[in-house]
Amino acid sequence: MPELPRPQQNLLLAALPHESKKRLVDHLELVSLPLGKVMYESGETMRYVYFPTDSIISLLYVMESGASAEISVVGNEGVVGIALFMGGESTPSRAIVQSGGYAFRLLGQRLKDEFNRHGEMLVLMLRYTQALITQMSQTAVCNRHHSIDQQLCRWLLLSLDRLPDNQITMTQELIANMLGVRREGVTEAAGKLQKLGVIEYRRGHITVLDRPRLEQLSCECYAVVKKETDRLLSDHF
């Protein structure tokens, strides 16, 4: 039997002050998150926050027409459901599982109670939120000004940073939905990367073969997000 994930595999949970961990650990519930699962829809009132361990959650903005575009990704470095402790209770985005795995679920009220103690956890969560806002802002700029090829490289790198290996399970159609572009554009961009020997793509499975080259081909958006995230959270992680 494979070993089940532990809370420490989520970097935010691992970085919690000792007293906060003691208060929260017994209330963490391990849940399975299959690929494609919708965790909440736009406008829904949230009850739980989720700390991914080996899964990746994509936050999407969905238009009235049904068209969508990804605004950020959350993996083992973060938490899904910041609206709960920021006071909003809901958000106009949809959260969907981009890469299947596990997460630890915590009742939102327990997180709010801990957040409102005004201790180290408050600082940690606010710093993470600032990093997430940076990612959202940079994604908006990237989608407006950079090519599909560059966007795909950025997306692959952000996903790799949140996975234990160089394997990504994702169809081109889902990638197109994430990036808010036509599937044909993703097919062409992925084909170029495969010809260059950067990735291998087969039946919904992407293997990154040359990460340094992938970073070279990406726009500056990936580096901006990574640098800011490291700046904000490296003292805690």
Segment 52-65, tens digit of pLDDT: 999 999 998 888 78
> What does pTM read for this prediction?
0.89
Q: What value, to the nearest 5°, has the Cα angle with vertex 147 and ends 94 and 142?
A: 50
Read off the amino acid at residue 94: R
Token pair listed for 102: 């596990």
pLDDT of residue 58: 92
pLDDT single digits (tens) 69-122: 888 999 999 999 998 888 777 788 899 998 899 999 999 999 999 988 878 888
Residues 213-233 as b/e (b if ≥16 CB within 10 A, e otherwise) read bbbebbbebbebbbebbeebb
At 128, the pLDDT band (50, 70, 90 cuts) reads very high
CATH 2.60.120.10, the chain: domain bounds: 7-142+229-233
Could you say which architecture CATH assigns to the domain 147-218? Orthogonal Bundle (1.10)
Query: Does 144 have pLDDT greater than 80?
Result: yes
Amino acid identity of 61?
Y
Q: Give the SS3 label for residue 10.
A: coil
What is the C-alpha separation between 180 and 151, in angstroms, rounded? 10
Q: Is 180's pLDDT higher than 90?
A: no
Second CATH level (architecture) for the domain 7-142+229-233: Sandwich (2.60)
Question: Which residue intervals of the chain bear CATH 1.10.10.10?
Answer: 147-218
**What integer is the mean pLDDT of 167-193?**
81
